[in-house]
Structure 1
């Protein structure tokens, strides 16, 4: 109760200042100190630790105009973004509501009545008019309402960061599903080309069987291999359409709306390599989910003071003035005027431990958000490290697969030539074709992996939308909100 004693001991001008400014109870928020490594473990010195990544419109590094268009459409029309905008409006309105509670309230009132009274057996009928003004102010002596306003302000800042985090996730998802769709287009096209070649091989094998230069096993194997490759095509088309349909939903459209736009084949986007990664401490400011977690910790720290203030006395100043007259024109002139003004004090005495329990609840909630903030920081650094190693290893894998494809293509060509010359059997040709198909499929998937880890890295670093966003426009515009006759 030292805070109460400090307020009580104040006198004179100090008392006036305290009444106007108020005391505060509960802990003052301090941003937690977070120890982060000096550099990323997966970087291995390949980029300068002091060079921060360029996160501005990072998806443009793919140099794909259609992807750029889709990102802009998603930012404008995505439903998760619309929800995040509404939550910002709600948080801002809550903040204004809580700050408004710090100010006095005033209300006007008026009445007009027709009255009848009987005095000495003589009835009297008269009109009576009243007008009044009431005002009240709860002095925020121990800062409960101030803490509530603090909490609402922190919540509004967290809502802003939530919108930014929604953009990080949205742009990453749009780009990822676009890359996936292009991958499945490439895989389906590869399967179709390979299946045509294998069908030609199967037809040639049947001719050789009739000529006695191939066996029935050779012919059956060739047919089976072609059918197996053809069976991959529907699977790839299913995955392609699922990616396109999901992409359409992210853009706020029906699934069918995007299929025509994506039908024309495009290459798997190939990004430019990341020039710099910055340092792990950057995630504390770059990652909007980390910033939001920190703001919520601040919000729930302020709520402790809000709950603690309820355990202290409260002072309210109330006043009113009223005028009563028998004629409307006499109000304020020849009327009866009454007024009152004075303070009232409310002292919490016995609440069965509820007020103390409310403080303990707030403290436990603050601890949960403290742990959540620490978890958000660790998860952010984990995301970056995983993306770094994934991108680095995927680049190495693609280089090896490119060599593998070139070698298998040469082997398939040589096997075909040797078979024509009668120097090898048909099974060697089929095996070479199968190996080439597998290697080419793996190469396409490795190209997708590079793009996917590139996307993951920029998401992990906090890359999102940096353009202007209008959050004040509601999703539903009410045409009529004023007074009117009820229609039902």
Structure 2
């Protein structure tokens, strides 16, 4: 009996394998091809040299700030948005298994044992029967038209999109963290400048009071000097609040309570200055390196595969199924008896009339694929715009630094001269107060431009898709798959 079943199952597997080989090329729907669009050879203000693979470039180290380096390393492992995106990879990977399972044979077994009988009036058991049974069921939907193969391709495309989403979360984190750190240092610099200016204006105010007592200054001079002191004092709390908010945001990015880093960030000072080179590369680098573009391409691949899965529903489906159910019955006072039932055969499902539902499903998937292609084009153009803007900002904002430094020097020199002249009685207090305002304004403009240039470099390197993967040799097992190029990792079988 069992030998016969084994023979039939072997025949079933052989027949299904032959059918699968014969019809392996009958896969519904179009095959995905990497999308293309016409693009210039280089950026308007960029060079013609390729960047290559910049996803492992630790560009933030060019600020030469060890504290910043430590915050980035910590945040890449602890940022909650990044961790959520990584977790979604697990679900997408499981979906690949689910999609693959539909085209595989399904085998289930069961077993049972029951005891039955009747009780007489004297509590004696009469006619006890023991029944032991079992069964094995096998089913296999022959994927002649590629329904499950296309579903698997779609799931693989979604898995690729999940990897790209995680990479994009890291890139977003880098931009947010480094920009917030630059902001925090900017506010520290403004606080230090305001405190220094406050000290200078306080001295001027005290000098004016002495000259008032000596009859060399008027009450108006004293009031004007005091007003400038109070104005400077009023600026400091707002700057301190802005620094605190930046520190709190950095802590949140690291997955820590808001006030955890405030004291630590107070220990260091000095605005970050980027001391690296401009590496914009060419537009072909952008398409390869930016995770949001790669995500859009993988979503397009999934949508194209869904077209084939929908089209396969238009054609007949054949499934092979069989089962065997042996049982053994033993009654008290009688010899046991066995009984085996079995069946095997194909089932044909042919869609004839469905009111246009299946055709409409194909149209829906085609429309979705066209939408995803447009989304890919939009992602490419958006990336190009971001790089072009960042290149322009870096070059032009950098050009303003030296004039602003010179402006600070001349304003400080003017303040020294006007103060000396005022002490000698050759000029009015108004000249001194104007010179102090000029110094304060020039210093604030210089600090703001240093801040902006530092953030311009952040925008540039994030725009080209740099730095979201660890360098080679430091890649842990979970990230190893992401170190390969996406066409190799997520290539779809024809």
TM-score range, shorter chain: 0.7 to 0.9
- What is the aligned partner in structure 2 of residue 364 from structure 1? 367
Residue 294 of structure 1 and its aligned partner are, at CA, apart by 0.5
Whole-angstrom distance in 2 between the partners of 1:403 and 1:93:
61
Which of 373, 378, 399 is 1:375 aligned to?
Answer: 378
Q: Provide the TM-score with structure 2 as the length reference.
A: 0.87
Contact 1:313 1:346 (8 Å CA) reproduced: yes
> Runs (4+) of structure 1 moved beyond 4 Å?
12-15, 17-20, 51-55, 469-472
Distance change in 2, residues 1:354/1:54 (3 Å): closer
SS, match of residue 270 in structure 2: coil
Contact 2:201 2:228 (8 Å CA) reproduced: yes
Residue 62 of structure 1 and its aligned partner are, at CA, apart by 1.1
Residue 371 of structure 1 and its aligned partner are, at CA, apart by 0.9
- What is the aligned partner in structure 2 of residue 115 from structure 1? 116
- What is the aligned partner in structure 1 of residue 350 from structure 2? 347
1:450-461 equivalence runs, <5 A: 450-461=453-464
- What is the aligned partner in structure 2 of residue 390 from structure 1? 393
Whole-angstrom distance in 2 between the partners of 1:140 and 1:14:
11
- What is the aligned partner in structure 1 of residue 276 from structure 2? 273
Contact 2:16 2:142 (8 Å CA) reproduced: no
Residue 162 of structure 1 and its aligned partner are, at CA, apart by 1.1
Whole-angstrom distance in 2 between the partners of 1:356 and 1:113:
51
Whole-angstrom distance in 1 between the partners of 2:99 and 2:315:
19
1:25-40 equivalence runs, <5 A: 25-40=28-43
* Higher mean displacement: 310-319 or 212-221: 212-221
Which of 214, 219, 227 is 1:224 aligned to?
Answer: 227
- What is the aligned partner in structure 2 of residue 90 from structure 1? 91
- What is the aligned partner in structure 1 of residue 488 from structure 2? none
Contact 2:307 2:365 (8 Å CA) reproduced: yes
Distance change in 2, residues 1:210/1:367 (3 Å): same
Residue 277 of structure 1 and its aligned partner are, at CA, apart by 2.1
- What is the aligned partner in structure 2 of residue 196 from structure 1? 199
Deviations 1:165-222 (A, max 9, x none): 1111111211111111111011011111111211111121122223222222222111
Contact 2:20 2:144 (8 Å CA) reproduced: no
Contact 1:92 1:156 (8 Å CA) reproduced: yes
- What is the aligned partner in structure 2 of residue 73 from structure 1? 74
SS, match of residue 267 in structure 2: coil
Whole-angstrom distance in 1 between the partners of 2:301 and 2:466:
24
1:303-452 equivalence runs, <5 A: 303-326=306-329, 335-452=338-455
Residue 53 of structure 1 and its aligned partner are, at CA, apart by 8.2
Structure 1: gaps (5+ residues): 1-11, 473-488
Residue 280 of structure 1 and its aligned partner are, at CA, apart by 1.4
- What is the aligned partner in structure 2 of residue 180 from structure 1? 183
Contact 1:180 1:448 (8 Å CA) reproduced: yes
Deviations 1:320-347 (A, max 9, x none): 111100259xxxx973222211100111
- What is the aligned partner in structure 2 of residue 253 from structure 1? 256
Matched, 1:287 2:281: no
Residue 48 of structure 1 and its aligned partner are, at CA, apart by 5.2
Which of 130, 142, 146 is 2:149 aligned to?
Answer: 146
1:195-214 equivalence runs, <5 A: 195-214=198-217
Contact 1:283 1:461 (8 Å CA) reproduced: yes
Whole-angstrom distance in 1 between the partners of 2:325 and 2:118:
23
Matched, 1:234 2:229: no
Whole-angstrom distance in 2 between the partners of 1:275 and 1:237:
33
Distance change in 2, residues 1:364/1:177 (3 Å): same
Contact 1:412 1:432 (8 Å CA) reproduced: yes
Deviations 1:105-162 (A, max 9, x none): 10001112233599xxxx7431111111101011111111111000000111111111
Whole-angstrom distance in 2 between the partners of 1:248 and 1:109:
56
Whole-angstrom distance in 1 between the partners of 2:153 and 2:441:
61
Residue 52 of structure 1 and its aligned partner are, at CA, apart by 5.0
Matched, 1:129 2:132: yes
SS, match of residue 108 in structure 1: strand
RMSD, matched Cα? 2.3
Whole-angstrom distance in 2 between the partners of 1:27 and 1:51:
34
Whole-angstrom distance in 2 between the partners of 1:360 and 1:431:
72
Residue 13 of structure 1 and its aligned partner are, at CA, apart by 12
SS, match of residue 400 in structure 2: helix
